[in-house]
Homo-oligomer: A and B are copies of this chain.
């Protein structure tokens, strides 16, 4: 828990003067880290020792140490302690909050993701005869994105967001095929079934899903992100972004494993798109 969050969560344990200090700090944290204890005391209209005591109460060694912690909290790009969007938020507020909560989610995902599993997944993908990406609902767009990425690698890739097609594809899979199932909760029945079918047909099933979920149990390899989802608005937000980044990582691992010659090929694919685009210099239109 960072200092800013700590201040908010323990706001009830503060005395009247300490609360004044807390308010001033929360109102302008950027100013705080560049202020002396005297300046801050003046802003909060309390004495200097009160500020010092405030810092100590937050388990820091003193005011300079507190500033250090505060600076780190701010560096995470989280001036907003409460990252949940609230009803009365204006455009500035909700825009900032959504950016920040997404970034925070990516940060936790980065810390929790298991690198050795990523490496195994890259292994499996590079050796795949065919790669299939399956997702439903919000995860369908992640699957599409994955298809777009891996298609460039000149590998047989398919992507279905239709359970019937997914099912047929899973039934037809054989050893050497890789099926990637994407689901944040890992509790979508249809997808679990498809994972099971693919597994029965000796395909390697990679799950981008919650660690301890029904879907995870059907998978040969589970890439768990464990992003805390903002449930306020009943929409998947951060989890989806984390999934996309994971796709980026797998794709990158794939290209690195394939070597430099392979990457020249990628450039060709990209260059082939040029004809469909306006020239960068041609700004006449």
Contacts and interface: CB of A to CB of B under 8 A. Distances in A.
B148 A141 contact: yes
A106 B115 contact: no
Contacts of A278: 187, 189, 192, 214
Interface string A223-267: 000000000011101001100110011011101100010010011
Given A118-B91, A256-B87, A249 B98 contact: yes
Interface residues of A, number: 85
Q: Which of A69, A75, A118, A138 has the most CB of B within 10 A?
A: A75
Given A68-B71, A91-B118, A188-B277, A107 B113 contact: no
A84 to B, nearest CB: 11
Each complex incorporates copies of this chain amounting to 2
A128 interface: no
Contact of A72 (B74, B233, B285): B74
A245 B91 contact: no
Given A91-B115, A95-B118, 19 more contacts: A34-B68, A64-B64, A76-B76, A85-B256, A91-B253, A94-B249, A95-B115, A98-B249, A102-B106, A103-B106, A141-B145, A141-B148, A152-B234, A185-B277, A187-B279, A233-B255, A234-B269, A234-B270, A237-B248
